[in-house]
Structure 1
């Protein structure tokens, strides 16, 4: 039985993050993920601890503060501080590399993909997700400005939201597939997720999530009252969007790639 990833995230992280990460956590269930597994850009390890507990061998991130949290959470056997473009592992070491909503934040992303291809063994899998080329179009304020005929304001808002989200890449899956091919990885398929409604919740969840940032700073936790009775109004709003199936288009996409085994 698949865990309720929405609730598991909602009781520990802000609502907009709980919705996005809850949806993404479901995608890994049932996928082939040969060991050993590298979580590239693992952050604080919270996502891995829920999405694939006990499976990821190594969590890697350039941020030492986040890695300390990941180590305390014991989501990985080892945590390693390093840049994605200089992975400190031998070639062909990993059976699976996972990078959940990380690559969009890296300017020179092809250098990272080249390293992923190097450390994957032949036949190994690369699983990742990223904002798509539809991300800005799905933002509610962007759509409102476009309906009002204020295209300049819509484009300015899109640039602003990408800047605060630290997005360097919001590209179509076909562009990512071409990048993978250039580094020797073979895309096997992808699907879109996060509708306009879900994206609007993510968008407006940023300002509404500011109190959680204060709680995290003062008390070391995002949610002070992690109980059903206190969170049910938020859960009721998020639940229909959590249960949405992948669609023909979406603000995000999930991709599966493989290093050819040479046979």
Structure 2
């Protein structure tokens, strides 16, 4: 499945979140290009399960256990049969036995956790020896690749602080930092693969300004995007049905303008310029 095809699928799933659909198409394309390990996996930060369902349509079926601290998201994920079990719990307290999993998948989750070490320790604990992990995360160049504020009265530092608060980003680790964190918990990094270039980052930024950023401002910069979506009924609608594909296809063409999601379909980009990393490795 190409990134362009993934975009159409994500737009159908997230019609009110074009910026999210755009980012996820590139991200899930990166994971699908790499491939998922076989065996039983832990979906760390599973959310409502929609993203994982789309991922598995690209990689092939897997059996998973899902964990997420949000009870509303976990309840929505129960409709997916690939979850053997679902837990409402934080990542630093996984209610599963030691060495239970063949792999751990965490997609765009770890950047939302202020103190990462306990969560990485738990991921290591539940992995069997030789078990693999795949983490997708924003990297330090993400902030550099953004175009920044539109208004001259807003400094770049203010803009980045507000953006990080809105999208709840608490960390941007480099490859070396991921290596040190993994080694501290008995794991080894195999690769830090770059995706999401500067034009794509800025395309996401533009889409985000017009949707999530606008709503965040209108609601006084006090509610998280997911809370705003729930208050407007968008989250419930998203979990009930997808947009007809003919409309999603038309919208995806607009979303993709200027910085195609498939620009790097067949290769990774330099990790020191990439806005995001696919961090892969294994438990020793």
Shorter-normalised TM range: 0.7 to 0.9
- Residue in 1 that maps onto 2:223: none
Q: Which moved more, 1:29-38 or 1:156-165?
A: 29-38
The answer on 1:252 being equivalent to 2:276 is yes
Kept after mapping to 2: 8 A contact 1:215/1:224: no
In structure 2, what is the Cα distance between the partners aligned to 1:135 and 1:236?
Answer: 19
CA 115–24 in structure 1, closer or farther in 2 if over 3 Å, else same: same
What is the CA–CA distance in structure 2 between the aligned matches of 1:25 and 1:238, rounded to whole Å? Answer: 20
Shift in CA distance, 76/2, structure 1 to aligned 2, threshold 3 Å: farther
> 1:188 aligns to what SS in structure 2?
strand
For residue 141 of structure 1, report the CA deviation from its aligned partner: 1.5
The answer to whether 1:23 aligns with 2:26 is yes
Deviates more, 1:195-204 or 1:25-34: 25-34
Structure 1 length as normaliser, TM-score?
0.86
Query: Is the contact between residue 7 and residue 252 of structure 2 (CA under 8 Å) also seen in structure 1?
Result: no
1:47 aligns with 2:51: yes
Asked if the contact 2:111/2:138 (under 8 Å) is kept, the reply is yes
Distance 1:59 1:65, change over 3 A: same
* Aligned residue number for residue 173 of structure 1: 175
Matched, 1:204 2:223: no
Higher RCO (Cα < 8 Å, 6 or more apart): 2
Larger mean Cα displacement after TM superposition, 84-93 or 227-236: 227-236
Helix, strand or coil for the counterpart of 2:62?
coil
TM normalised by structure 2 equals: 0.80
- Once superposed, what is the RMSD of the aligned Cα atoms? 2.6
SS at match of 2:144: helix
Aligned-pair CA distance for 1:125:
0.3
Task: State yes or no: 1:227 paired with 2:246.
Answer: yes
Aligned equivalents of 1:60 and 1:68: distance in 2? 11
CA contact (8 A) 1:39 1:56 kept: no
In the alignment, structure 1 residue 114 sits paired with structure 2 residue 121: yes
Gaps of at least 5 residues in structure 2 are 216-227
Count of residue pairs the alignment pairs up: 255
**1:80 counterpart (87, 103, 113):** 87
Report Cα offsets for 1:160-183 as digits up to 9, x if no partner: 111111011012121111111101
Q: Is the 8 A contact 1:91 1:120 kept in 2?
A: yes
**Distance in 1 (alpha carbons) for counterparts of 2:81 and 2:38:** 20
State the SS of the aligned residue for 1:124: strand
Contact 1:44 1:66 in 2 (8 A): yes
Q: After TM superposition, give the deviation of residue 256 of structure 1 in Å.
A: 0.4
1:153/1:235 Cα in 2 relative to 1: closer, same or farther (>3 Å)? closer
Residue 65 (structure 1) shift: 0.2
Moved more, 127-136 or 52-61: 52-61
Give the match for residue 101 of structure 1: 108
